[in-house]
């Protein structure tokens, strides 16, 4: 390797030779030598952002002062929230969020023509990869036909969407589509697309090496941070702006250092570790911050385990969870088939630019916390939130506590239980198996077996979080093998499924002979996609669904995913638990959340003997040996050789050849959105909000799933009625997620989660509110009635409003319902940004005010002033609440328009309007 001085004006460009080639790069040590600051102890994650400043410094968008601010960050102990303009290298999408993004781009082509521009001005400037992974639904399971039947049904349901995406691939530059059935976008990114260090021509036309960075339209884009690729989820609208050349406006973040020591003990998994990390970081408070993992424990943490931890950054609330480049990074790049010259460049670049984690790696952090991995125990998380961490030996008792709280049952003695009667007066000794402190309200006959509170009706190896991690997948296969040998199988009421993160998983499970064992327990391949984790769990057997609903039972799901919010997994399931893939197999065998599987028998063997979890749990050595034998470089190279080609079904999709899209009037999947119709060439101004009424009064931890659900819906909902009126049968409704290209469906589905609770109504679940007449109605119908009267609307919420997925429709739907402001105690990062991107202003309570302390009922009138004229970012503005009885209260609200550019976005009506006008002016 040689390093020579370059000649550009910034004095920071250098040359680097590695892997037989010489490329330029922007040198952080050279910036130090030029007197721009001391950057030597910046965390690697922040050095990636600093390099971005060096590369794009132009004296306008990025200034020398922006670069110096990183030195001040270190001097001030990890604090300097200066606004910067950051440009990611590329954009990643999945189809649920990608379809509306491509819809917006197509609509922008129409819009720019309306403003006198050219359709070709609307093209991604940054490379975009869209992976179709969210569409497969588990209609068929537990048999060898499942995969092909689900794929066939997927194409039947989604042909309109696939035709549109294939049109987009042909119509737009820099836009590639990875076809259905390939894998989950984050696995494809981790295993193939990501390069850790990228090379391309810079703005000066010179070949340059630089860190691989991205934003993605899925919150779990963070997974690739395990490979030292800085990336995080944004809403589709923010991603569209980034791909059209608009920098991401952000504040230099705090970086929380998470020191890992020790090593994982026998019998524990990466899932157990990440659930503990989620709990710790949620408690620490990392919203809007980077988390960087460091410490000697990383020497014993495989990259797949790192990716599991990075994946769940949205669950612990951070912007990202970053792992610096080290020897394990190089090992993974080599194993997954990356080019040897690329691997050499990654090492040389990281060492030269101070991004290598060696034994002397000792950055400054804004704050730190520490975990000895030797203390990790088997665990699950639930029943509603990822941070609800439960050591496995406490899970059954905790479920009993949950049921008692839900049923308002107190702990009783055995004698009292024996005397209890049910509501009809009959004896009801409803003691659940293995849990003497919790019992069901009813026992309902379903097929030839009984269901009760806690019956596990879904056990799914699913999601991006675990299903590309060979250790836990091989572990699950070995649990299945040992269980099968003892004559065990799943309980008949459990819907089981295996949806790997990529085709490579099937390759090594087949090579190890483990797929046959998984099949024997009902974990047949159902597809390559998110499936259960995104709510595409498919219907339960009718008898089971009827039994659950007849008895009002709290049925449970166990999944190897990252999200377990209410109403997400299945409309029939009220308690959802996150678990490792091996534990998903174990719970399928037990079939009951009331059983303490850490010590009680799971089932009886074919010889009539009790079988315990320890009897079927593989050793770490068994898992490691099989991983070593079957997870090969050749397997990755084989499966990714034709990643963009697709199967014959995809190849047969016919598309129109046109610059603009011919919006079919009859389509119920793809419609031209109203955002850019009749746009003026000049932006408007931000107006005060006068006489607004309350559309919904919501509690804490309202997720984007609550605001814009992704799963199925019934024909009695506003969205269902819309489709029924257009002769779409309920069987063809598909899901909200698949309908995101049609704003008419999506605005009707906004705030329509079946578990959302509007505090304006007593004890009512679902998307309901009070209309102008004071009567209960759907939120959509009430919003339209208020719009007809010309009345603006507001939403009130609690803490962590907008947690969860980077779902732009949670903001788009809010805007289309006529909501002008969302007032909450705090916001999750992505949703706040999305609201601003749609022209909806987020506000936070001040001075300890909350919806409860203010006594809000939902019948108040709201006025917010101080928005007109010279509104400063993050300023406090006056709000007047006029109660139904005529009394008035004045409070202050913190306006969460955080930066100057965000103010401009709101003035334009949204970020895409801003970009469109800017492009039209540029000609």
pLDDT above 70: residue 9:
no
711 and 567 assigned to the same domain: no
| Cα gap 87→200, rounded to integer Å | 14
* Secondary structure, 3-state, 305-328: HHHHHHHCHHHHCCCEEECCECHH
Q: Which of 549, 571, 601 is the last residue of a domain?
A: 601
Sign for the pseudo-dihedral over CA of 702, 704, 708, 711: negative
For residue 522, the SS3 value is coil
pLDDT value of position 829: 81
What's the helix, strand, coil split of the chain in %, to 5? Answer: 35, 20, 45
Mean pLDDT, residues 765-771: 96
Rounded CA gap, 696 and 814, in Å? 11
Q: Is the pLDDT of residue 835 over 90?
A: yes
Please check whether residues 700 and 806 belong to one and the same domain: yes
Least confident window among 200-204, 552-556, 602-606, 654-658: 200-204
CATH number, residue 716: 3.20.19.10
Residue 158 · residue 738 · CB < 8 Å: yes
Residue 563: the pLDDT is 78
Residues 297, 261 contacting (CB under 8 angstroms) = yes
Between 610 and 409, the higher pLDDT residue:
610
3-class SS of residue 617: coil
Residue 812 lies in a domain: yes
Task: Identify the pLDDT of residue 447.
Answer: 59
Judgement on whether residues 484 and 586 belong to the same structural domain of the protein? yes
Cα–Cα distance, 120 to 105 (Å, whole number)? 11
Considering the domain architecture, whether residues 575 and 706 belong to the same structural domain is answered as no
* Least confident segment among 105-109, 188-192, 429-433: 429-433
452: its two tokens = 């009760």
pLDDT score of 154: 87
Per-residue pLDDT reduced to its tens digit, 860-912: 999 999 999 889 999 999 999 999 999 999 999 999 999 888 999 999 999 88
DSSP bridge partners of 576: 557
Report if residue 362 sits inside a domain.
no
Q: What is the CATH number of the domain that holds 435?
A: 3.30.499.10
Provide the domain limits for residue 764. 689-922
Residue 363 phi, psi (nearest 5): -80, 170
Instruction: Report the predicted TM-score, pTM, of the whole model to 2 decimal places.
Output: 0.83
- Least confident span in 93-107, 225-239, 415-429, 487-501: 415-429
Cα atoms found within 13 Å of the Cα of residue 688, Cβ hemisphere only: 14
| Distances from the Cα of 508 to the Cα of 401, 478, 627, 629, 644, angstroms | 41, 13, 8, 9, 22
The three-state DSSP-derived secondary structure of 77-118 is: CCCCCCEEEECCCEEEEEHHHHHHHHHHHHHHHHHHHHCCCC
Q: What is the pLDDT of residues 46-101, one digit of tens each?
A: 999 999 999 999 888 899 999 999 999 999 999 999 989 999 999 999 888 888 88
Closest CA to 138 of 506, 525, 589: 525
Question: Does residue 29 sit within a domain?
Answer: no
Q: What is the 3-state secondary structure (H, E, C) of 257-311?
A: EEEEECCCCCCCCHHHHHHHHHHHHHHHCCCCCEEEEECHHHHHCCHHHHHHHHH
Strands 13-18 and 793-796 come out as: unpaired
Q: What are 302-354's pLDDT values in tens digits? A: 999 999 999 999 999 999 999 999 999 999 999 999 999 999 999 999 999 99
Listed residue (672, 752, 754) closest to 708, CA to CA: 752
Q: How many beta carbons lie within 10 A of that of residue 714, not counting itself?
A: 12
Using the structure block, give the residue that is written with the tokens 């506000």. Answer: 843
- Are 557 and 441 within one domain? yes
869 contacts: CB under 8 Å, gap ≥ 6: none
Distance in angstroms (rounded) separating the CA atoms of residues 418 and 433: 15
Going 571 to 576 to 582 to 585, the CA torsion angle's sign is: negative
Q: What is the DSSP letter of 803?
A: B
Q: Can you tell me the distance from the alpha carbon of 724 to that of 662, in angstroms, rounded to the nearest whole number?
A: 24
Closest CA to 650 of 152, 101, 173: 152
Tokens found for residue 316: 């612990």
Dig out the tokens for 400 from the structure: 């009993």
In this structure, the answer to whether residues 557 and 696 fall within a common structural domain is no
Q: Per the domain annotation, does 882 fall within a domain?
A: yes
Measured at the alpha carbon of residue 823, what is the angle toward residues 104 and 710, in degrees to the nearest 5? 45
Q: Which residues neighbour 24 within 8 Å (Cβ) at sequence distance 6 or greater?
A: 6, 13, 14, 15, 16, 202, 206, 207, 208, 209
pLDDT of 502-523, one tens digit each? 889 999 999 999 999 999 999 9
Boundary-marking domain end, from 601, 626, 646:
601
Q: Which residue has the higher pLDDT, 792 or 656?
A: 792
Please, what is the Cα angle at 463 between 459 and 469, to 5 degrees? 100
8 A C-beta contact, residue 826 and residue 118: no
Asked if residues 238 and 248 have their Cβ atoms less than 8 Å apart, the reply is yes
Task: Answer whether residue 646 is part of any domain.
Answer: no
Q: What is the mean pLDDT of residues 606-627?
A: 95
Whether 898 is in a domain gets the answer yes
Asked if residue 888 lies in contact with residue 844, where contact means CB atoms within 8 angstroms, the answer is no
Cβ-based neighbours of 111, under 8 Å, separated by 6 or more: 675, 676, 677, 679, 916
b or e along 605-619 (b: 16 or more beta carbons within 10 Å of the residue's beta carbon)?
beeeeebebeebbbe
Q: Is residue 584 part of a domain?
A: yes
CA distance 247 to 244: 9
Q: Cβ distance 94 to 130 under 8 Å?
A: yes
Matching residue, tokens 């960087």: 292
> Encoding tokens for residue 786?
């208020």
User: In whole angstroms, what is the distance from residue 761 CA to residue 292 CA?
Assistant: 43
pLDDT at 435 over 80: no
Burial label for 167, CB within 10 Å (0-12, 13-18, 19+), is: buried
Quick check: 624 and 304 in contact, CB under 8 A? Answer: no
Q: List strand residue ranges (DSSP E) for 793-868, in order.
A: 793-796, 819-824, 841-845, 861-864
CA pair distance 130, 101, nearest whole angstrom: 10
CA distance 209 to 199: 4
Q: Are strands 575-578 and 556-559 parallel, antiparallel or unpaired?
A: parallel
Instruction: Over range 748-763, report the average pLDDT.
Output: 94
Tokens of residue 741, six digits: 């290209």
Structure token digits, residue 394: 């406490």
Locate 64 and state its tokens: 């020398």
Give the mean model confidence (pLDDT) for residues 765-783: 97
First vs last Cα of the chain: how many Å apart? 45
- pLDDT-based confidence at 213, cuts 50/70/90? very high
b (16+ CB within 10 A) / e for 871-903: beeeebbebebeeeeeeeeebbbbbbbbbebbb
Mean pLDDT value across residues 669-677 = 91
CA 579 to chain centre: 17
Q: Would you call the peptide bond into 734 cis, given omega within 30 degrees of 0 as the criterion?
A: no
Asked whether the beta carbons of 171 and 658 are under 8 A apart, the reply is: yes
Query: For strand 320-322 and strand 197-201, is the pairing parallel, antiparallel, or unpaired?
Result: unpaired
Residue 901 lies in a domain: yes
Contact by Cβ (8 Å): 479, 585: yes
Residues 859 and 884 sit within 8 Å (Cβ to Cβ): yes
Would you say 840 and 823 are in contact if contact means Cβ atoms under 8 Å apart? no
> DSSP state, 560?
S
Q: What's the Cα-to-Cα distance from 594 to each of 74, 174, 367, 405, 832, rounded to whole Å?
A: 51, 52, 39, 15, 39
Q: How does pLDDT run across 230-258, given as a tens digit for each residue?
A: 999 987 788 888 888 889 888 999 999 99
End-of-domain residue from the set 586, 601, 616: 601
Banded model confidence at residue 418, pLDDT cuts 50, 70, 90: very low
Helix crossing, 911-922 with 900-908: angle to 10°? 80
pLDDT at 10: 52
Q: What is the pLDDT of residue 446?
A: 55
480 near 582, Cβ under 8 Å? no
Identify whether residues 590 and 702 lie together within a single domain.
no
Q: Give me the phi and psi of 269, to 5 degrees please.
A: -130, 170
CA–CA distance, 120 with 112 (Å, rounded to integer):
9
The whole-angstrom separation of Cα 364 and Cα 40 is 9
Domain match, 420 and 524 both: yes
In the chain, the percentage of residues whose pLDDT exceeds 90 is 70
For residue 431, the model assigns a pLDDT of: 35
Note whether 455 and 566 are same-domain residues.
yes
Bridge partners of 211, per DSSP, are 197
For the chain, the domain total comes to 2
């Amino acid at each position: 390797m040689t390093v020579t001085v370059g000649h550009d004006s910034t004095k920071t460009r250098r040359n680097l030779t590695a892997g037989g080639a010489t490329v330029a790069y922007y040198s952080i040590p050279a910036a130090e030598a030029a007197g721009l600051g001391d950057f030597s102890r910046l965390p690697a994650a922040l050095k990636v952002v600093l390099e971005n400043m060096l590369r794009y410094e132009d004296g306008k968008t990025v200034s020398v002062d922006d670069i110096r601010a990183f030195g001040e960050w270190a001097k001030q102990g990890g604090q300097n929230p200066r606004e910067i303009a950051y440009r990611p290298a590329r954009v990643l999408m999945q189809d649920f969020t990608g379809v509306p993004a491509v819809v917006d781009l197509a609509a922008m082509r129409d819009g720019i023509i309306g403003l006198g521009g050219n359709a070709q001005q609307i093209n991604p400037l940054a490379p975009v990869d869209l992976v179709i992974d969210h569409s497969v639904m588990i209609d068929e399971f537990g048999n060898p036909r499942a995969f092909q039947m689900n794929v066939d049904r997927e194409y039947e349901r989604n042909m309109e969407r696939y035709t549109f995406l294939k049109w987009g691939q042909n119509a737009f530059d820099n836009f590639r589509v990875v076809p259905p059935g390939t894998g989950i976008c984050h696995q494809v990114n981790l295993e193939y697309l990501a390069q850790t260090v990228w090379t391309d021509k810079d703005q000066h036309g010179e070949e340059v090496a630089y860190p691989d960075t991205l934003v993605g339209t899925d919150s779990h884009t963070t997974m690739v941070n395990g490979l030292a690729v800085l990336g995080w989820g944004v809403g589709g609208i923010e991603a569209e702006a980034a791909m059209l050349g608009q920098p991401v406006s952000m504040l230099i973040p705090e970086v929380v250092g998470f020191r890992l020591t020790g090593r994982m003990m026998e019998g524990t998994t990466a899932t157990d570790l990440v659930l503990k990390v989620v709990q710790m970081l949620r408690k620490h408070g990392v919203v809007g911050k980077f988390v960087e993992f460091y410490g000697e424990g990383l020497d014993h943490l495989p990259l797949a385990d790192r990716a599991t931890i990075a994946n769940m950054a949205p669950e612990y609330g951070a912007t990202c969870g970053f792992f610096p480049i080290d020897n394990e990074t190089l090992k993974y790049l080599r194993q997954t088939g990356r080019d040897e010259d690329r691997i050499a460049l990654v090492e040389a670049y990281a060492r030269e630019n101070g991004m290598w984690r060696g034994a002397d790696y000792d950055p400054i952090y804004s704050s730190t916390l520490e975990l000895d991995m030797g203390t990790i125990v088997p665990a699950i998380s639930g029943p509603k939130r990822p941070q609800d961490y439960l050591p496995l030996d406490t899970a059954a008792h905790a479920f009993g506590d949950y049921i008692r709280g839900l049923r308002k049952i107190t702990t009783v003695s055995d004698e009292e239980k024996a005397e209890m009667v049910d509501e009809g007066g009959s004896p009801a000794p409803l003691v659940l198996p293995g849990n003497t402190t919790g019992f069901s309200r009813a026992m309902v006959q379903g097929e030839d077996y009984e269901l009760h509170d806690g019956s596990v009706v879904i056990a799914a190896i699913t999601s991006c979080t675990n299903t590309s991690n060979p250790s836990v997948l091989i572990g699950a296969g070995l649990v299945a093998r040992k269980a099968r040998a003892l004559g065990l199988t799943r309980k008949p009421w459990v819907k089981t499924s295996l949806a790997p993160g990529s085709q490579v998983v099937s390759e090594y499970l087949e090579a190890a002979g483990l797929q046959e064992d998984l099949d024997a327990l009902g974990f047949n391949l159902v597809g390559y996609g998110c499936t259960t984790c995104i709510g595409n769990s498919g219907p339960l057997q009718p008898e089971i669904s009827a039994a659950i609903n007849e008895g009002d039972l709290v049925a449970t799901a166990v999944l190897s995913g990252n999200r377990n919010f209410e109403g997400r997994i299945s409309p029939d399931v009220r308690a959802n638990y996150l678990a490792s893939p091996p534990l998903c197999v174990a719970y399928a065998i037990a079939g009951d959340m009331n059983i303490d599987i850490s010590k009680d028998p799971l089932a009886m063997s074919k010889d009539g003997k009790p079988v315990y979890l320890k009897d079927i749990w593989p050793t770490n050595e068994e898992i490691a040996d099989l991983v070593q034998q079957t997870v090969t470089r050749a397997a990755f190279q084989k499966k990714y050789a034709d990643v963009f080609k697709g199967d014959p079904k995809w190849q047969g999709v016919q598309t129109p050849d046109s610059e603009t899209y011919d919006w079919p009037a009859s389509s119920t999947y793809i419609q031209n959105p109203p955002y850019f119709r009749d746009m003026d060439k000049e932006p408007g101004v931000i107006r005060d909000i006068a006489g607004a009424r309350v559309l919904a009064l919501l509690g804490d931890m309202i997720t984007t799933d609550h605001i814009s659900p992704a799963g199925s819906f019934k024909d009695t909902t506003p969205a269902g009625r819309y489709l029924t009126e257009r002769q779409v049968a309920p069987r063809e409704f598909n899901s909200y997620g698949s309908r995101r290209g049609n704003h008419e469906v999506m605005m009707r589905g906004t705030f329509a989660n079946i578990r959302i609770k509007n505090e304006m109504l007593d004890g009512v679940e679902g998307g309901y509110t009070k209309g102008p007449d004071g009567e209960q109605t759907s939120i959509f119908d009430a919003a339209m009635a208020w719009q007809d009267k010309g009345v603006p609307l507001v939403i009130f919420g609690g803490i962590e409003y907008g947690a969860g997925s980077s779902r732009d429709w949670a903001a788009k739907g809010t805007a289309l319902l006529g909501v002008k402001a969302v007032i909450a105690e705090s916001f999750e990062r992505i949703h706040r940004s999305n609201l601003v991107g749609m022209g909806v202003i987020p506000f936070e309570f001040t001075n300890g005010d909350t919806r409860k302390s203010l006594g809000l009922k939902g019948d108040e009138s709201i006025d917010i002033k101080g928005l007109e004229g010279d509104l400063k970012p993050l300023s406090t503005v006056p709000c007047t609440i006029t109660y139904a009885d005529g009394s008035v209260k004045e409070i202050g609200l913190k306006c969460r328009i955080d930066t100057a550019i965000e103010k401009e976005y709101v003035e334009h009506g949204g970020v895409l309007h801003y970009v469109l006008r800017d492009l039209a002016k540029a000609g």
